[in-house]
C-alpha cells in the first residue's frame, strides 16, 4: 500500500461511506486519514465507523489515522410562524431573545453573548452570508438591524458575526461530551471548531489529556488575527475555508491560505486545506477544471493534506472523488515546477541539533544516491522535522507506538511502519533496512539514510545520522530489538 505521492488525503465518512467495503475502497483509492464529523451521526454510528476503520487497518496491515471533528457552538435564529420570510434591502429587522415565532419584522436569536458583544455598525450574516444585516441599535437582549442584502430567511438558519470576537467558548456542552467520547474511543486527532484564541485550544488539550492530538480549525477572522498563538498551542491546523469565506471577503481567503500553510510548515505542524475542494463530485463523476486547479494549488503550496467533506460522506461518487484527488496529487508532484516551488519555500529557523540532523539527512538524500530517509521517532517530533524539509525521497517513519504511527498518517511524505524498540543504534539500522526493503522502497544495491536519537525511547534526542547500505547481511542479522 505504498502511496505514489507525498501529500495526504483526508476523507469524511457519512451515509455514503459507512460500510466496510466502501471504507476499504476509499483507503485503497488513496485516503490516509478518515474524518468522523461529530455534527452528524449518533455515538453508535461513530463507534461502528471507528471499528470498521480499525478492521481495515488490521486487514491491510497499514496504520490509518482517524480525525474526530467537533461541531462547535452553532449560532442560529429561531423559527418563523410561516416557516420563512422575505427580507428586502433597506428595511429594519429585529433580533431578540423573545422565543415567540418570528415574522417579517423580527425573529429570535437565542444567544445573549452576541448582544453583549455587538457594536453599532457590526455586520451579521445569515444563511452562509446570503443575507447581510447591519446593526443600527442594540441592547442586552436585542439588536435592530438594517437589511443590507435581502433574501429568504427561514427556520434555524446559521448566523455569523465576522466583526466581533465573541465571548463564546469553542467547546459547547455537546462538544465536551463528544470530546470525552471520542478520546476514550481512540481517535488520533481532535479537530476544534470555532477557535478564536489560544485559550480555546488549551482548554481542549487539558480535557483531552494526551489521548489525541489537537487540531485547530481556522474559520474565524479572530483566529486569523490570533493565528501565531493558536498555532503554537495546537498540534495541527485546518484551513476551513467555508466559514472563513463567509466571514471574510472571498478574495481574502487565497492569500490567507498561503500564509497559514507556510507558517504551519515552518513550525513543523501538519496543515489541512479543506472545504469544497471537489464539490461538484457530490453529484458528478468528474470534477470541474477549477476544482482540479484548487486541489493542485494546495499541493503546490506544500500543504500536508487536502480534505474531502460531503464528496466522500454523502456524495454519489465517494471512491471516485478520492481517486481523482489522488491522481491530481500524483500528477502535480511529478511536475518539475513542483519541486522548484517546494525547495524555494524552505525558510524555517533552525536552532537545534535535531534541526541540523534532519537538514543534513535531506541534503545527503538529495545529493547522493539515496532511496529513502528512515527516522525513528517516539513522539513523532523527529518525523515532523523531516517532513518539514519536504525531501525529494520518501520518508519512512519507524515507530514503536501505534498511536504515533497513526498520527503521522496526516503528515506530508510519511510512510509509517510499526517496529520494535531498538536498544542500540546498530539494531535501529537493521530495523530501517528491513522496513525499506520490505515496504518496497529499496533493494540490496541501494542505500538509505537513518536518523535516530540515543538513548532510545526519549523524546527530543535526535542526534545520529548514518548512510546505510541495504545489504542482505542486515536483513538476516540477529536483531535483539
- Whether residue 100 contacts residue 77, with contact meaning beta carbons closer than 8 Å, is answered with no
Active site residue 24: no
Helix axes 43-60, 20-29, angle to 10 degrees: 50
Active site residue 350: no
**Of the residues 8, 132, 217, 258, which is catalytic?**
217
**Of the residues 3, 76, 211, 263, which is catalytic?**
76
Q: How many CB atoms lie within 10 A of CB 209?
A: 9
3-state secondary structure of 222: helix
- In sequence order, which residues have a C-beta less than 8 Å from that of residue 216 and are 6 or more positions away? 191, 192, 195, 200, 201, 223, 230, 231, 233, 234, 236, 237, 238
3-state secondary structure of 193: coil
State the Cα angle at 335 between 333 and 336, rounded to 5°.
115
**Of the residues 12, 275, 414, 462, which is catalytic?**
275
Active site residue 265: no
Note the Cα 353 to chain centre separation in Å: 28
- Whether residue 56 contacts residue 83, with contact meaning beta carbons closer than 8 Å, is answered with no
Active site residue 35: yes
Burial, 357: exposed, middle or buried (Cβ in 10 Å; 0-12, 13-18, 19+)? buried
- In sequence order, which residues have a C-beta less than 8 Å from that of residue 360 and are 6 or more positions away? 465
- Whether residue 310 contacts residue 279, with contact meaning beta carbons closer than 8 Å, is answered with yes
Sign of the dihedral through C-alpha 297, 230, 415, 47: negative
**Of the residues 6, 35, 106, 241, which is catalytic?**
35
CA distance 210 to 232: 16
Give the residue numbers marked as catalytic.
Answer: 35, 76, 217, 275
Amino acid at each position: 500500500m505504498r502511496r505514489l505521492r507525498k501529500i495526504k488525503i483526508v476523507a469524511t465518512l457519512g451515509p455514503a461511506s459507512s460500510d466496510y467495503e466502501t471504507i476499504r475502497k476509499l483507503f485503497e483509492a488513496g485516503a490516509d486519514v478518515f474524518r468522523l464529523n461529530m455534527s452528524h451521526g449518533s455515538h453508535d454510528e461513530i463507534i461502528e465507523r471507528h471499528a470498521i476503520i480499525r478492521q481495515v487497518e488490521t486487514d491491510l496491515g497499514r496504520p490509518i489515522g482517524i480525525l474526530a471533528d467537533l461541531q462547535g457552538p452553532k449560532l442560529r435564529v429561531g423559527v418563523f410562524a410561516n416557516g420563512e420570510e422575505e427580507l428586502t434591502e433597506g428595511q429594519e429587522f429585529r433580533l431578540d431573545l423573545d422565543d415567540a415565532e418570528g415574522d417579517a419584522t423580527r425573529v429570535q436569536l437565542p444567544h445573549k453573548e452576541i448582544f453583549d458583544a455587538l457594536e453599532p455598525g457590526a455586520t451579521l450574516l445569515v444563511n452562509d452570508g446570503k443575507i447581510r444585516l447591519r446593526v443600527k441599535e442594540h441592547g442586552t437582549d436585542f439588536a435592530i438591524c438594517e437589511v443590507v442584502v435581502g433574501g429568504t430567511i427561514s427556520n434555524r438558519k446559521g448566523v455569523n458575526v465576522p466583526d466581533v470576537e465573541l465571548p463564546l467558548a469553542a467547546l459547547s456542552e455537546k462538544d465536551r461530551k463528544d470530546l470525552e467520547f471520542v478520546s476514550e474511543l481512540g481517535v488520533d486527532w481532535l479537530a476544534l471548531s470555532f477557535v478564536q484564541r489560544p485559550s480555546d485550544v488549551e482548554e481542549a488539550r487539558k480535557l483531552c489529556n494526551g489521548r489525541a492530538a489537537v487540531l485547530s480549525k481556522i474559520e474565524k477572522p479572530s483566529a486569523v488575527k490570533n493565528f501565531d498563538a493558536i498555532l503554537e498551542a495546537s498540534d495541527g491546523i485546518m484551513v476551513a475555508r467555508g466559514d472563513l469565506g463567509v466571514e471574510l471577503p472571498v478574495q481574502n481567503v487565497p492569500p490567507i491560505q498561503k500564509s497559514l500553510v507556510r507558517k504551519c510548515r515552518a513550525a513543523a505542524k501538519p496543515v489541512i486545506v479543506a472545504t469544497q475542494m471537489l464539490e461538484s463530485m457530490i453529484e458528478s463523476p468528474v470534477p470541474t477544471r477549477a476544482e482540479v486547479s484548487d486541489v493542485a494549488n494546495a499541493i503546490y503550496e506544500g500543504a500536508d493534506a487536502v480534505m474531502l467533506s460531503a464528496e466522500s460522506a454523502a456524495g454519489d461518487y465517494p471512491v471516485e472523488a478520492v481517486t481523482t484527488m489522488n491522481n491530481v496529487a500524483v500528477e502535480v508532484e511529478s511536475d518539475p515546477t513542483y519541486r522548484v516551488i517546494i525547495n524555494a519555500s524552505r525558510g524555517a529557523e533552525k536552532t537545534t541539533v535535531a534541526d541540523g540532523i534532519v537538514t543534513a539527512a535531506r541534503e545527503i538524500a538529495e545529493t547522493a544516491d539515496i532511496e529513502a530517509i528512515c527516522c525513528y521517532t517516539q513522539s513523532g517530533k523527529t518525523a515532523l522535522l523531516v517532513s518539514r524539509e519536504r525531501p525529494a525521497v520518501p520518508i519512512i517513519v519507524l515507530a514503536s507506538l501505534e498511536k504515533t504511527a497513526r498520527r503521522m498518517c496526516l503528515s506530508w511524505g510519511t510512510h509509517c511502519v510499526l517496529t520494535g524498540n531498538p536498544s542500540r543504534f546498530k539494531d535501529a539500522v537493521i530495523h530501517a533496512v528491513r522496513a525499506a526493503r520490505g515496504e518496497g522502497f529499496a533493494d540490496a544495491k541501494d542505500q538509505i539514510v537513518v536518523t535516530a536519537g540515543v538513548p532510545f525511547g526519549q523524546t527530543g534526542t535526535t542526534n545520529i545520522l548514518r548512510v546505510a547500505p541495504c545489504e542482505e547481511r542486515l536483513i538476516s542479522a540477529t536483531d535483539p530489538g
